[in-house]
Amino acid sequence: MVNFYSIFDQFYPDTFLFIPLSVLCFFLNVFWFFFMVSNSWLRNRCQVFWFNFLSSSVILIFQTTSRGSASWGGILITVFIFILSVNLLGLFPYNFTNTSHVSVTFSLGFPLWLSVNIYGFYSSFNSRLSHLVPQGTPVVLIPLMVWIETLSLFAQPLALGLRLAANLTAGHLLIFLLATTVWTFVGVYYVFFPLLFVFFLLFILEIAVACIQAYVFTALIHFYLQENL
Q: Regarding beta strands 19-20 and 15-16, do their DSSP bridges make them parallel or antiparallel, or are they unpaired?
A: antiparallel
Q: What is the pLDDT of residues 35-69, one digit of tens each?
A: 666 666 666 676 777 777 777 777 777 777 666 66
Which residues have a Cβ under 8 Å from the Cβ of 198 and sit 6 or more positions away? 178
Confidence bin at 30 (pLDDT 50/70/90): low
pLDDT at residue 2, rounded to an integer? 40
CA 140: distance to chain centroid? 40
Question: What is the pTM for the complete model shown?
Answer: 0.74
**Average pLDDT, integer, range 125-135:** 70
- Give the chain's mean pLDDT: 76
77-110 confidence digits (pLDDT tens): 888 888 888 888 878 776 777 788 777 888 888 8
Q: What is the pLDDT of residue 85?
A: 82
Please report which confidence band the pLDDT of residue 14 belongs to, taking 50, 70 and 90 as the band edges. Answer: low
Over range 152-162, report the average pLDDT. Answer: 83
Compare 83 and 19 and report the one with higher pLDDT. Answer: 83
Tell whether the torsion through CA atoms of 35, 38, 44 and 46 is positive or negative.
Answer: positive
168 within 8 A of 100, measured Cβ to Cβ = yes
Which has the closest alpha carbon to 100: 172, 41, 49, 159?
172
For 204, other C-beta atoms within 10 Å of its C-beta total 10
227 CB-near residues (< 8 Å, 6+ apart): 120, 131
Q: Which band of pLDDT confidence, cut at 50, 70 and 90, is reported for residue 114?
A: confident
| Residue of higher predicted confidence among 50 and 207 | 207
**Residue range 168-198, pLDDT digits in tens:** 888 888 888 888 888 888 777 778 888 888 8
> What residues have CB less than 8 Å from 40, skipping those under 6 apart?
none
Query: In whole angstroms, what is the distance from residue 97 CA to residue 117 CA?
Result: 29
CA distances from 30 to 36, 137, 176, 188 (A): 11, 49, 27, 43
The DSSP 8-state label assigned to residue 15 in this structure reads E
Position 33 pLDDT exceeds 80: no
